[in-house]
Chain A
Amino acid sequence: MGARKSTDRSGQTTPNAHGSGKNSRRRFLKAAGGLGSAAGLSALAGCIGSLGSDDETIRIGTLYDNSGELGFTGEGKDAVTEMFLEEQDYELLGREVELISYDPAGDNTQYQNLTRRIIQEDEVDMLFGALLSSNREAMRPIVNENKQLYSYNDWYEGGVCDQFTFINTTLSSQQRPMIEFMIDNFGPDYYAIVADYNYGTISNQYARFYAEEYGGQPVGEEFVPLGVDEFGSTINDIQQADPDWILSLTIGAPQASFFEQAEAAGLDVPYGSMSNIAGTYEHKTFEPPVMTDTYSCFSYFEEIPTERNQEFVEKFKSEYPDFDYVFLSIVDAYTALQLYWEAVELAGTVDQEEVAAAYESGDISVEAPSGTVAMDPETHHATQDMWLAHVDESHEVQFLDVDGNPTDEPISEQVGTSDWFASECQLASESTWDDPITEQYIPEEGDLTE
């Protein structure tokens, strides 16, 4: 919404601005329909399902927060969804595409109700949604119960193995090159600052496992509750442990205060980050030199120097000037749509079972802003290039190769899921539409070693 408003504010009358206006009207009509027919105690309630159910129209649903703590992230995802649909002229297989998007506002009960609504009433052909893993876990039982094709596209710890879910984003296991790089270049002893919940602790397990493989080990680990923005004792503890580098798994803006406080306390240790820069652009929100010598490994950064990406960034920012930085979540939402488009075109239909089969064909591969992204048939996770970004003292980003030299290439190409997960999760061979597997696997101590 903020994005749309700013398009108006910029005074442009480009076709794009016009297009997004058109879409907001569409959304409004949808909303009015929802309100009028009302899930309340009005007897009219039953009629929404049939409202405009033209079989020719393809319906795409998004459930991204537009308000609440992650409202800005969700707005970015909805904005890029609009941009993608405009690029496609709201057409797929020669049929019109309708976008239905709701705002679950970060509330998991809302996620559940709106998932039901978007599946059972709006009868979407494809559902994109959830920001946090907990949002996704709230949605998944309903998605599975209704056999709904579903895309999750926000970075997470990995492990979802689900017949109906297709995932393209950076997984913790894919950040392995960063660990190797840090140990090779700075030394084996690291101190981990970990957001104290699933994403943080599971990613930390991966990090510890890979570090051990490369001969490194943690000299200290601090688990920080979400929302904490006070790091005095942590900084003390780090100074005492005297690590070669710090592994950052801080999540959310309050925890990012760590960097400012570490800088102010005169702590001068390089950061190897699994959670900063790409998704939350701390190098843009903090004044230099707070983030100096942060090394971060993700599938996407705004700064990726390919022509494809620079065009994409320029286009998105000109259409949605509220976004100063094109962050990972935005691009993953865009790539998810690209993958769906390809799968539907391959299947020649939007029939969900057939599209799922197309996803599993092994032929789904798109040129995303981040590079080539392919869908792995067995795990339903994207295979993609990983980039190692280095933030310098003026907060500019360079990409590095294995030896630490600047490069225009990814540090690792076409990275899939971890070996452990690939051996656990074999959806194409073991799961079918009618007898589906719908799990999330969490690595236990020792799982990763085998």
Chain B
Amino acid sequence: MSLIESLFGFLILALSHFGKLALIALGLAVIFGIMGIINFAHGEFILVGAYTTAMGYHAGFPLLLAIFVGGLAAGIFGLIVERLIIQHLYDRLIETLVATWGVSLIVIQLVRIQFGGTFAGIHTPLGSIQYGAFSASTYRIALAGAAIVLFASTYAIFMYTRYGLHSRAAMQNKEMAQCLGIPTKRVYMKTFFFGSVLSGIAGGLIAPTVSLTPDMGTNVLVEAFVTVIVGGANVIVGTSLAALSLGIIQAPASMLFGTLGGYLALLITTVLLIRVLPEGLTGVVE
């Protein structure tokens, strides 16, 4: 492998790791950052998005539209969960953890009963790009671009909409926001919806690259958590930086030491980063 090829290979790998981590973490980061609760059913929102996308796609929708429908389906599902459960547990981190764990158990088993062990997947679009003797999936690289677009949109929504203003206020000081007449409960509800939509879109986007199974959510949960925690409190900057740095570390480690090495590197880096930067990467930026 020539140096140029290695470098290229590394860049592509790092980009695809970044794309995936950023996508699966964003929805969780929004909900965790603003509402301060842990959504243990996060993976199942991704699952709902992915399955709906696949269904739409097989029903003849173009992929992009199917992904949009997937996001919407996850959003509606999120709204139901919020109204039924989460709204009674605002500001109760541990309790939401256990309750959403319950949601996750239910969803996984229902999906299994309804659709069986695996679900017909989507063929990865866009073909491959060649570099020397090597080639990589174009779609995997496009995912990194999609992640950047989603982060930018989320940033715009937080900065330039009324909801964004309210949610930032609620995040910084809930009591003060309430005093100023901001309906924090409505803000929380919208946030949960918004986070769910983002997770659903992420599910739709990664659907063409993985097998669709009832456990697909559980499989990404740890990576999503790790990314959010390493990122720290700042939803946009922290999470994207975390995804980037973890991706950059995972890529060479998996090239050198195999998949297990890459995964271990991700976990060890997480532990070390938390130890060195107890505030997450946000702490460094601020």
Q: How many Å from the CB of A284 to the closest CB on chain B?
A: 8
Q: Is B135 an interface position by the 8 A CB rule?
A: yes
Interface contact A287-B9, CB-CB below 8 Å: no
Give the interface centre of A224, A225, A236, A254 by most chain B CB atoms within 10 Å.
A236
CB under 8 Å from chain A, chain B span 241-268: 251, 254-255, 258-260, 262-263
CB under 8 Å from chain A, chain B span 117-162: 117-124, 126-128, 130, 133-140
Q: Is A450 an interface position by the 8 A CB rule?
A: no
B-chain residues with CB within 8 Å of residue A439 when the two chains form the complex = none
Interface contact B211-A285, CB-CB below 8 Å: yes
Q: Is A121 an interface position by the 8 A CB rule?
A: no
CB under 8 Å from chain A, chain B span 77-129: 109, 112-114, 116-124, 126-128
Interface contact A261-B124, CB-CB below 8 Å: yes
Q: In the complex, identify which listed stretch (B10-18, B25-33, B59-67) lies at the interface while the others stay far away.
A: B10-18
Q: How many Å from the CB of B133 to the closest CB on chain A?
A: 6
Interface contact A236-B213, CB-CB below 8 Å: no
Complex: A256 Cα to B138 Cα, angstroms: 20
Interface contact B211-A256, CB-CB below 8 Å: yes
Complex: A222 Cα to B255 Cα, angstroms: 11
Contacts known (A227-B219, A254-B216, A266-B128); A260 close to B209, Cβ less than 8 A? yes
Complex: A237 Cα to B9 Cα, angstroms: 10
Interface contact A236-B260, CB-CB below 8 Å: no
Complex: A213 Cα to B161 Cα, angstroms: 69
Give the interface centre of A227, A285, A286 by most chain B CB atoms within 10 Å.
A285
B-chain residues with CB within 8 Å of residue A224 when the two chains form the complex = 258-260
Q: Is B210 an interface position by the 8 A CB rule?
A: yes
Contacts known (A285-B211, A322-B116); A228 close to B259, Cβ less than 8 A? yes
CB < 8 Å: which of A1, A253, A260, A281 contacts B124? Answer: A260
Interface contact A261-B137, CB-CB below 8 Å: yes
Interface contact B13-A236, CB-CB below 8 Å: yes
Using a Cβ–Cβ cut-off of 8 Å, how many residues does chain B contribute to the interface with A?
A: 49
Complex: A280 Cα to B118 Cα, angstroms: 9
Complex: A280 Cα to B211 Cα, angstroms: 12
Q: How many Å from the CB of A254 to the closest CB on chain B?
A: 5
CB under 8 Å from chain B, chain A span 178-222: 196, 222
Report the interface size class on chain A.
Answer: 35 or more
Interface contact A67-B112, CB-CB below 8 Å: yes
Q: Is A60 an interface position by the 8 A CB rule?
A: no
Complex: A196 Cα to B140 Cα, angstroms: 25
Interface contact A234-B116, CB-CB below 8 Å: no
Q: Is B180 an interface position by the 8 A CB rule?
A: no
Q: Is A449 an interface position by the 8 A CB rule?
A: no
Q: How many Å from the CB of B109 to the closest CB on chain A?
A: 6
Q: Is B20 an interface position by the 8 A CB rule?
A: yes
CB under 8 Å from chain B, chain A span 240-260: 240, 242, 253-254, 256-257, 260
Q: How many Å from the CB of A297 to the closest CB on chain B?
A: 22
A-chain residues with CB within 8 Å of residue B259 when the two chains form the complex = 222-225, 228, 230-231, 233-234
Contacts known (A254-B211, A256-B211); A229 close to B112, Cβ less than 8 A? no
Interface contact B117-A73, CB-CB below 8 Å: yes
Interface contact B117-A72, CB-CB below 8 Å: yes
Interface contact A265-B128, CB-CB below 8 Å: yes
Q: Is B280 an interface position by the 8 A CB rule?
A: no
Q: How many Å from the CB of B112 to the closest CB on chain A?
A: 5
Q: Is A232 an interface position by the 8 A CB rule?
A: yes
Interface contact A236-B9, CB-CB below 8 Å: yes
Q: How many Å from the CB of B38 to the closest CB on chain A?
A: 21
Interface contact A257-B209, CB-CB below 8 Å: yes
Q: How many Å from the CB of A317 to the closest CB on chain B?
A: 13
Interface contact B260-A196, CB-CB below 8 Å: yes
Interface contact B123-A287, CB-CB below 8 Å: yes
B-chain residues with CB within 8 Å of residue A73 when the two chains form the complex = 117
Interface contact B262-A233, CB-CB below 8 Å: yes
B-chain residues with CB within 8 Å of residue A266 when the two chains form the complex = 127-128, 130, 135, 137
B-chain residues with CB within 8 Å of residue A233 when the two chains form the complex = 13, 251, 254-255, 258-259, 262
Q: Is A263 an interface position by the 8 A CB rule?
A: yes
Complex: A384 Cα to B110 Cα, angstroms: 37
Q: Is A19 an interface position by the 8 A CB rule?
A: no
A-chain residues with CB within 8 Å of residue B16 when the two chains form the complex = 232
Known: A224-B260, A225-B259, A253-B213. 15 other contacts (CB 8 A): A71-B117, A225-B263, A232-B13, A232-B251, A232-B254, A233-B13, A233-B259, A239-B135, A240-B1, A253-B117, A260-B124, A260-B208, A265-B135, A267-B135, A285-B118
- Please provide the 5 A-B residue pairs with the shortest distance between their CB atoms, ordered closest to farther: A72-B117, A266-B128, A264-B137, A264-B124, A233-B254
12 A–B contacts from the bound complex (CB under 8 Å): A1-B113, A72-B112, A225-B259, A232-B13, A234-B259, A260-B124, A261-B124, A264-B127, A264-B208, A265-B128, A285-B118, A323-B116
